[in-house]
Structure 1
Amino acid sequence: MAAESLEAAIQRVGSAVGVLRDSKVRPHTFPVAPEFTNWRSEQKAWRTTCALLDQSHHMTDLFISGPDGLRLLSDFGVNSFANFTPGKAKQYVAVNQDGYFIGDAILFHLEDGLFDLVGHPTVANWLQYNVEVGGYDVTLERDDNSYDRPSGPPKLYRYELQGPNAVPLLEKLTGEPLPHVRFFNMTEFVIAGHRVRALRHGMAGMPGFEMFGPWAEGEEVLAAILAAGAEFGLVRAGAKAYSTSNLESAWIPTAVPAIFGPELRGYREWLRVDSLGSLGGSMNSADITDYYVTPYDIGYGHVVKFDHEFLGREALERLAGTPRRAKVSLVWNPDDVVSAVRSLQEPGLPAKYIEMPKARYAFFQVDAVLRDGKQVGMSLDVGYIANERAFISLATLDLDCAEPGTEVTVLWGEEPNSAKPAVEEHRQIEVRATVAPAPYVREVRESYRKS
């Protein structure tokens, strides 16, 4: 039997919010070892020595080739494509016709006419649909993450080295000084006799490279990295630590995609309901559009360029001069976090379980942020940074509440409790929080994108 479409599920349940809040779809899966040592030491490594992260399994690759590849990407991306030559990459951002965010992913320009879009499947689904209905002369090859792939290994291995010792480790591996590579530009190494492509990157803001190549060569490349890494304090980081790296660089991994208007009914009829993900958190508006954000709300204003025509351009031009919200970090009050954990050992209904180090329990985690009892924004990801000894969330707040030092409250837990498998019976609590810059870590704010 054919899988139910998102639109059919909405019609059956009666609302988009109802479908997403009770969705049985898993929050997200990182199909690698949870820990190789322990997640605290693994977090520490990307600050003090060098961490190796395996990104081979949890992301979706959409390979785009053909005469209309660049036109497709330009038509649906807010980014500039001027001078986007092979060997470069960018954080690709797509919006709907009203300028509201659909999703983002890393876009690699591998060769003339060949692109690789890497990330959560949200944007890959969106582009694939528009290829099918838009008459673009392109060829798509899709490689889903290892949880969803029908069979076989990934097409590519993908490893990331990050930390202050990443560069000297790579110089030992390659036997020569590393070339100067600007942020989000690519170079090539030879490791274990194999050609390795490498993106100058750093998920937690420290120096590093994301390296990739054919899956069949991955084990030999990995073995060489591990053999060379001992003297540089190399630590393998598992899924638990990896899932928190974005909290340091302030990348918000998911936001509810703005795909629920009448003009996108065809897309929802095309999209399987289990392709989207679940909605969790204390915010429980019946209107799905209340969950929408713009690129400006979540820190992507700098990538919006009006040098080309794209879906949503006119709306973003209107929004550009009058942003309503800003991305911030929220530092949760330690006493309130401890109180929530302590409630698990006290009589009565406990607070929602806070998992460490990443506390999100839905693909789209949306918790209401209050000031003086009024909602002033949304918390969109949450977890613990051992390097800072701080429990923080990434949020978008009204501008008059976004100044560092402002005191707010995060509602934690659902009222009423949804039917998601990850939600146990619990009571909603208020957690005091203090607004801080995003990125929260000073070194990351000052050095993340330096060339």
Structure 2
Amino acid sequence: MTELSTPLHAEHLAAGAAMTDFAGWQMPLRYTSDRAEHQAVRGRAGLFDLSHMAQIEVHGPQADLALDAALVSAVSRLRTGRARYTMLVTSEGGILDDLIVYRLADDEFLVIANAANRATVVDQLTVRSASFQVGIVDRTTSRALIALQGPRAAEVLATQTAADLDALRYYSATPTEVAGVPVLLARTGYTGEDGFELSSAAVSATELWQALLEAGEDAEVVRCGLASRDSLRLEAGMPLYGQELTDQLSPYDVGMGRLVHLDHEFVGHEALAARAEQPPRHHLVGLQGEGRRAARAGYAVFLAGEQVGEITSGILSPTLGHPIALARVDRELSADTDVTVDVRGTPTPMTVTKPPFYRRQN
């Protein structure tokens, strides 16, 4: 399969990024060190290229009804300028992808999907909306997506836009200009910090990227790759599709039943209505330990000598200085329950804790 490149590919190479294949895209893994980039976002701000993420336009007089029929949440209730985190599930209730849906107008929405699931989401939205007056257009390759994340993100961005950032609430978006470039500016992110995601035309991506880097020089804004994005999202307790979320799990199996609005019809409604009346088959829990040895994905989790699950994501937290992990277990475990993780043959104690592991200071 031919690898895709984002509109910022040349920028990454010029900056000396270590590149990697991710979901068929050539993406920057890191520019300097994972830890340095992670700490920059926690302390100042970091700039991410997210142009591999799918950007799918849904428009037409019945766009809201089509999305309601396709997704577990009733997005027709969204006000213009607001966004919602939701899911696309199979008819059996398994998670096909987790998404963010923005309402741009009465008859226009933007769906942001994971890169690995782009084709699936486009296909399923198209099939599920066939009986509605709606158009589904994959804009991914003609658009760019850039994230500016961190406690100084708003300060830096304010020098480049006339938009009222104080009025832009979390999970809200507005069309505006940044450094003279037309963008959809959203206060969203995947790092646990305050921050913004900017969708622009692909041809404007380099101009926008360079302007934000230049504006952030005094604040010591740095370029960041996928490695630090992953450690940041894990500290924030945010799930990753393919690790915490799969098509074999329902929203209830990952503690996200709140996303499911059973008062509207959608593909998977019957299965999820039945699941809602039953105990979850799985539970997603946070674990934290001591020392310096991280519990990685796939490592077995034991309770009183019996295997009860496995790690889905785990790192030595750069911010907290101790191991943290998300784990899928087959029973409900209360906070402060002590478990053991097999870390390369060594039984390693960890304690159940409720994510997020890190909360930003407001």
Post-superposition Cα deviations, 1:29-76, rounded to whole Å, max 9, x if no partner, equal 6633322232211111221111111111x3223333344433332123
Q: Which residue of 2 aligns with 1:433?
A: 350
Q: CA deviation at 1:440?
A: 1.0
Q: Label 1:66 to 1:411 Cα distance change in 2 as closer, same or farther (>3 A).
A: farther
Residues 1:232 and 2:223 aligned together: no
Which residues of structure 1 form unaligned runs of 5+? Answer: 1-25, 145-153, 259-291, 338-353, 361-365, 414-427
Q: Which residue of 1 aligns with 2:191?
A: 204
Q: Label 1:176 to 1:80 Cα distance change in 2 as closer, same or farther (>3 A).
A: closer
Aligned counterparts of 1:31 and 1:235: Cα–Cα separation in 2: 20
Q: Label 1:124 to 1:375 Cα distance change in 2 as closer, same or farther (>3 A).
A: farther
Q: Which residue of 1 aligns with 2:341?
A: 410
Equivalent residue runs for 1:363-374 within 5 Å: 366-374=298-306
Post-superposition Cα deviations, 1:159-196, rounded to whole Å, max 9, x if no partner, equal 11111111111222225752412221102342222222
Q: Which has the larger radius of gyration?
A: 1
Aligned counterparts of 2:163 and 2:124: Cα–Cα separation in 1: 45
Q: Which residue of 2 aligns with 1:397?
A: 329
Aligned counterparts of 1:308 and 1:390: Cα–Cα separation in 2: 43
- The amino acid that maps onto 1:395 is A
Aligned counterparts of 1:220 and 1:158: Cα–Cα separation in 2: 13
- Secondary structure of 1:141 counterpart: strand
Q: CA deviation at 1:223?
A: 1.8
Higher relative contact order (CA 8 A, sep 6+): 1
Q: CA deviation at 1:93?
A: 0.7
Number of residues of Structure 1 aligned to a counterpart in Structure 2: 337
Q: Which residue of 2 aligns with 1:334?
A: 291
Q: CA deviation at 1:130?
A: 6.0
Q: Label 1:139 to 1:31 Cα distance change in 2 as closer, same or farther (>3 A).
A: same
Aligned counterparts of 2:176 and 2:120: Cα–Cα separation in 1: 32
- Aligned counterpart for 1:296 among listed residues 252, 256, 267: 252
Is contact 1:50-1:234 (8 Å) kept? Answer: yes
Aligned counterparts of 1:192 and 1:88: Cα–Cα separation in 2: 23
Is contact 1:155-1:215 (8 Å) kept? Answer: yes
Question: TM-score w.r.t. structure 1 length?
Answer: 0.66
Q: Which residue of 1 aligns with 2:29?
A: 34
Aligned counterparts of 1:367 and 1:254: Cα–Cα separation in 2: 18
- The amino acid that maps onto 2:135 is T
- The amino acid that maps onto 1:157 is A
Q: Which has the higher strand share?
A: 2
- The amino acid that maps onto 2:81 is G
Aligned counterparts of 1:134 and 1:197: Cα–Cα separation in 2: 25
- Secondary structure of 1:173 counterpart: coil
Q: Label 1:27 to 1:233 Cα distance change in 2 as closer, same or farther (>3 A).
A: closer
Is contact 2:60-2:135 (8 Å) kept? Answer: yes
Residues 1:245 and 2:232 aligned together: yes
- The amino acid that maps onto 2:284 is K
Q: Label 1:246 to 1:306 Cα distance change in 2 as closer, same or farther (>3 A).
A: same
Q: CA deviation at 1:380?
A: 1.9
- Please give the root-mean-square deviation of Cα atoms over the aligned residues, in Å: 2.9
Is contact 1:117-1:124 (8 Å) kept? Answer: no
- Secondary structure of 2:167 counterpart: coil
Is contact 1:327-1:438 (8 Å) kept? Answer: no
Aligned counterparts of 2:86 and 2:163: Cα–Cα separation in 1: 33
Equivalent residue runs for 1:149-160 within 5 Å: 154-160=141-147
Residues 1:110 and 2:27 aligned together: no
Aligned counterparts of 1:140 and 1:177: Cα–Cα separation in 2: 31
- Secondary structure of 1:174 counterpart: coil
Equivalent residue runs for 1:129-208 within 5 Å: 129=124, 131-132=126-127, 135-137=130-132, 138-142=134-138, 154-174=141-161, 178-208=165-195
- The amino acid that maps onto 2:85 is Q
- The amino acid that maps onto 1:36 is Y
Q: Label 1:134 to 1:171 Cα distance change in 2 as closer, same or farther (>3 A).
A: closer
- Aligned counterpart for 1:54 among listed residues 21, 30, 49: 49
- The amino acid that maps onto 2:341 is V
